[in-house]
Structure 1
Amino acid sequence: RELLRAKRKNTGISIIMADIDWFKSINDSFGHEAGDTVLVAVAEMLKGG
């Protein structure tokens, strides 16, 4: 969806692949909802927010 939007608006897009240390143990210990919260926080930090 984002790729199509960038193409339609003739803008660039970035894709980041990150390996978060100990992420599996966060999911295993606290559940996937907590893991999702961590991913959102990391994404916000990468966006500069």
Structure 2
Amino acid sequence: MIPYKHEPFTDFSQEANYNAYVEALNKVEGYLGQDYPLIIGGERITTE
């Protein structure tokens, strides 16, 4: 097992980091409002 270590914080004042962050948020926003089944024991289960 790899020993635990802290990851460095992301510096969002750097334009490349900020742009990657905004791009990721926009991508995830496209997944909102959709239904996703639970997968339990390899079986897809939908709920109401």
Greater Rg by CA: 2
TM-score, normalised by the number of residues in structure 1: 0.38
**Higher strand proportion:** 2
